[in-house]
Amino acid sequence: MFNPFPILVRLERPPSRLWARLAACSLLASGSAWGQVTPPGNAGENTALNPSLQTCAGECHQDMLTQKVMHGPVLEDCAKCHVEDNKEDHTFFLLTTPEELCIKCHSIAPKSHGHEPVLNNDCMACHDAHGSKFPSVLVADPKGDLCAQCHDPKNMDGKFVHGPVVVGACVVCHEAHTSDEPALLRKPERETCLECHGEVDRTGEEGWHTHGALEQGCTGCHDPHASDHKFQLEATAPDLCLSCHEDTLHDQLTNAKIVHGALTQEGGCTDCHEAHGSTLPMLQKGSEVEACLRCHSQELKTATGETLTDMGALLANNPNHHGPIREGQCTVCHQPHAGDRFRLLEKDYPPAFYAPFKIDTFALCFTCHIPELVLEENGRGLTNFRQGDQNLHWLHVNQEKGRTCRACHEVHASQRAAHVREAVPFGDSGWMLEINFDVNAGGGSCTPGCHKTKTYRRGDTIEPPKPRSVLGIPEGPSAGGE
């Protein structure tokens, strides 16, 4: 039984480097005491041959010398292998048993694993004793039917076939006779694969994280011969990935109310993670922001039909970014794989404009922000959003019909400081309720759709913070307040 090992491409024709390796392997296979020999001319022209050979070949066995590749002894002396038993009956016997006869000239190093014909001393299963039109006096085409005589070719079928399998170059990876490796591999599995696919492994380089599966070998993920999946994978992601990552992800993906759409698309896990290795933690393909924006730089539809904002455009057009985005950490707020909260949030956060105040309802915000912002009526020393000492965050949020954070703040990016919105969606209709917020050195004012113009004065003078930027976006003018 073959032990699988991969080359991760589908080939219609072999690359030039494969032909070079195949040629080298053919020479190795024929390097023995009596190797393959090309006959010296046509059968009738071998006048310099040993007399016994002339007798055999000239009188009865002329066809023995017509093959393209000849066994060495055939051109030397039939008596190397045959002894006449009865001259009158013209019968012959072998000098010794077939299994002993071959090893008189051909030595095969004993190793841990042997090819079944070798173990059974059945050299004739693969080689013709006299001549053949194929290299190494093989009985069939090594690029075609030779190995398929014993090894079911159905195991090599699939939409995506390993390059050496396409051209019948089994000896690129397998020894023909014996090996110290399972499946008669020429080298340990990982080394065998990396001879052609060395670019996927940079183990040992500073800062490089190698996928644990690759450290163990390639066949945990790839079929070495053929598969119906791209890159000869054993299965598609996420099923393939979950065969190892079951403990951490299987239950989550199975039981969660919401599964990240990226996992259900073609490519699955590999949309965000490198399959072999990365310079980033968790085998990320790029920073979290870069990885997320590969999909979220366009409007997307959720499974329930909701439209997700084009986050790439939002961040590009609004220079004041939320802290986690400035730090490149989307997963501070969002689950990357699956979860039970809307928008795959890590912790509770109210999805509506209004919500009865409970400290646990705003657990997500209090991952970073101090809860005193909404618990303390006196806001001096806590916030610049106050009327004298009165904490206006507390006033808006800490009540039965409290305004949630989203009522005034854009959670990803804004033109204004403190992520103050220009407008906020209100109600099921999605009507954009304008905030009309203005800031000045001593306070600010707003004229939203929910009340008439209100002005606040802190009673001191504090310069409002300037907006910050990420992703190389220039900083804009200060336009907000806290």
pLDDT-derived band of residue 155, with 50, 70 and 90 as boundaries? confident
- Per-residue CA distances from 134 to 184, 365, 453 (Å): 22, 74, 94
Asked whether the predicted pLDDT for residue 475 surpasses 80, the reply is: no
Residue 13 pLDDT exceeds 60: no
In tens, the pLDDT along 405-419 reads: 999 999 999 998 889
CA distance 121 to 103: 10
Which tops the pLDDT comparison, 358 or 88?
Answer: 358
Q: How confident is the model at residue 468 (pLDDT cuts 50, 70, 90)?
A: very low
Given this model, what pLDDT does residue 130 score?
Answer: 92
List the chain domain ranges.
16-196, 238-341, 344-457
**Exposure b/e, 405-444, CB count within 10 A at least 16 = b:** bbbbbbbbbbbbbbbbbeebebeeeeeebebebbbeeebb
pLDDT, tens digit, 9 for 90 and up, residues 384-393: 999 999 999 9
Question: What's the rounded mean pLDDT across residues 252-270?
Answer: 87
pLDDT band at 252 (very low <50, low <70, confident <90, very high): confident
Q: How far is CA 131 from the centre of its chain?
A: 47
Q: Which of 40-49, 136-145, 427-436, 445-454 has the lowest mean pLDDT?
A: 40-49
Please measure the distance between the N-terminal and C-terminal CA atoms of the chain and give it in whole angstroms.
70
Instruction: Over range 441-459, report the average pLDDT.
Output: 89
Q: What is the pLDDT of residues 57-66, one digit of tens each?
A: 666 777 778 8
Whether 247 and 259 have beta carbons less than 8 Å apart is answered as: no
Q: For residue 175, which of 202, 147, 155 has the smallest C-alpha distance?
A: 147
Is the per-residue pLDDT at 133 higher than 70? Answer: yes
Burial of residue 257 (CB within 10 Å: 0-12, 13-18, 19+) is exposed
Kindly report, residue by residue over 22-44, the tens digit of the pLDDT: 444 443 344 444 445 555 444 33
Residues in the chain: 482
Distance of CA 360 to the CA centre of its chain: 39
